[in-house]
Amino acid sequence: MAAQKIILVTGANQGLGYCIVSVTATRDPSAHFILACRNVEAGEKAVEELKKNGITASLEVLKLDVTNDDEIVAAVDAVTAKHGRLDVLVNNAGISRFPKDASLPALRAAYTEMLQVNVSSVACVSAGFRPLLAQSAHPKVINITSGLGSITNCLTKKMNRSPPYGTSKVAVNGLTAHLQTAENDRVAAASSGEGGPKVDYYSVAPGFLKTAFTRFNERGKDPYAGAEVIVQLILDEAGEYQGGTQWEFEQGKMQQVPCLLVQAASLIDDLRGLGLSPGTKIGLASNSSGFTQRWSSYDAPSYVAAVKPVTDKDVAKVIAFAANTSTPFLSTGGGHGFSTTLDRLHKGIELDLGNFNNVSVDADANTLTIGAAVRFRDVVGPLGKAKKELPIGSEPCVGMIGATLGGGVGRYSGLHGMILDSLKSVRLVSAAGEILTASTTENADLFWALRGAGFNYATILEATYNVYDETAPSVLNADFLFPPNASQALLQYFKSFEADGLPAKLALVWLAANNEALGGSFIMINAVYVGPKAEGQKYIQPLFDAFPIRSSQVEVPWSQVNAAAFFGNEPANYTCPTNSPHNVYGGAVNHFDLDTFQTFYENYDNLTSSLATQLSGTVYFIEFFPNQAALAVPANATAYPWRNITAHLLLNFAYNATSGLDDKINAFAQGARSNFSAASGFAQPELYVSYGHGDEDLATLYSKENLPQLLQLKKKWDPQNVYRYNYPLIR
């Protein structure tokens, strides 16, 4: 009969440690569990709760502060006296700390404490119990690490991270490797089993868990699910898992986490072996020099390698390789996407299309052709020089093709429709690695789907648009700065256009924020009228009557509207921001319910005022664009379903996601989104897909009417679901 297995778990009175005991004891009730805790009373309460929940295995509480050497010695003596051996040691106890302030002493204290608890104590506890482990037939030490402990993740993924904590987990992985190497050397040099059987050391990454450790963050996974990877190692009697390895439990099975630097080197070697053109850049990660940087680091994808091709065939080779090897990848143009679904891409390839930056205007043919990396600000100069225009977005740093694939909203939609309505054709690489053209006459079914759901089907290399003669040589750009107490008057002004709709030449954008340099909370209104000041003045006079703190009116050509807007806040030489966290939620309404809008603004202003420093950079937009030309396009002409939206809402929360604000911000934003949806005036929820947070249902993003055809085309053009990260149709 097998001896009773003795399992000791540090920090076992709550969180992951408690769940490890609970799940393991449920599956192996014959084992004996030692709950090692700093607070014996808390450990005893945990034992009571486990028993109440039906655990029948024998349970024992052991006082152990892992940072106290005397207590480690006493704990070892206690286990020796009572059991004479230890079969499994789980080093679960750990902490996460942030520096109390920006001073060097505070920083040093944070690192010292983190390394003391998370690393030195793991080493000391493991060494202390080593003689008892030597008495076991199959001894194991399981060290809890984190995805933050991966050097490659640090280099390739903008995570919600803390350098002190992440550094400590890098050290835990290194400690595990060194302990295993030393143990292997000992066994190889020993004779007659001297020193006992080989101890297997493991690192495990349970994932980001919803526990007290993370302040019960709503984005965390169930800690019982996180415990599964540890439980599998504890219960492994066949020696299936080799010591010195790191494991995670994902997609219902154990998965070994290779040394990610080795994985990166292997993947980079594979990419170099594809025979890509000279000039193609291949590197470790997207935050390396020479690769396109993402706008937002919030829930960003995780890359192992990045490749920046120079030809269409290079792109096709990379995509074919990724598809054939089931390697996840994401094509990056402007890098401005912010869907939280992008976080599902782990250890993949960034396919950086930054070299596809061509801009060509054919004034005679009234066309514009651009490469995949071109942003809105790159096209205004060449088009303005040719006295041409087309609808573009109001943020100059956004990639133009990416915006087009979602629909593309902007100030000129009353005159020329949505951006996708101007799209004439695209050259692309399919999920199968084929270079194709799509238009209304060639691969027309794919072209239909690309316009409104394009993230799901292909990588666009180049796009050609129809352009238009400039509507007016000068455009009125008017900006207004108001205090918060003007909100009701401004909302009533917006609502005054509701019955007849905005004139086709008028566009309004509301921006609300809190900036201590500007005296705190404020509201800015940008009004653009496609025509001279004398003609547009009557439409914006009510804004002057609302007594702005500051106002400005300038007449500029179409090509300078974005640079002039909001008092010239983003001029032509503006540096596009990168690698900062943006937690974004969108909304849409058919009419302005004044009570809903005013209540939200008051709540938003209270939130941003109370957390002015933490939420610095947070903005709330109302984009009130005309839609006459957009509505004139037949509903079934493209896959974009929501041409009837009156105003788009965008809540851009900028904050350090490790600051503990995540739950508060998400709860606030989700509540606001629900309230706006209820008062939107739509029969069913509607949302411009590119403004989605990423958690919306498919019908809200793509419409229940379009979904069957979109899914059918998905099966035809991407049956392996290669394109599955950016607002995916198949989740």
Residue 240: the pLDDT is 81
> Contact 236/7 with Cβ under 8 angstroms?
no
Percent of the chain with pLDDT over 90: 74
Copy the structure tokens of residue 195.
Answer: 């020193």
Q: Give 89's contacts (C-beta < 8 A, 6+ positions apart).
A: 8, 125, 126, 129, 133, 140, 141, 142
∠ Cα 439 464 372 (to 5°): 105
As annotated, the active-site residues are 165, 169
User: Cα separation of 397 and 585, whole Å?
Assistant: 19
In this structure, which amino acid lies at residue 201? Y
User: Cα separation of 530 and 541, whole Å?
Assistant: 16
User: Cα separation of 1 and 673, whole Å?
Assistant: 61
Closest CA to 10 of 88, 111, 112, 70: 88
Q: Give 310's contacts (C-beta < 8 A, 6+ positions apart).
A: 276, 277, 278, 279, 280, 355
User: Cα separation of 62 and 12, whole Å?
Assistant: 10
Domains and CATH numbers, the chain: 6-257 (3.40.50.720), 262-352 (3.30.465.10), 475-703 (3.40.462.20)
Length of the chain: 731
What parts of the chain have a pLDDT lower than 70?
1-2, 147-161, 190-194, 208-220, 251, 258-264, 285-289, 657-659
> For residue range 674-692, what is the model confidence (pLDDT) as tens digits?
999 999 999 999 999 999 9
Residue 1: the pLDDT is 46
> For residue range 57-113, what is the model confidence (pLDDT) as tens digits?
999 999 999 999 999 999 999 999 999 999 999 999 988 777 888 899 999 998 999
Residue 286: the pLDDT is 52
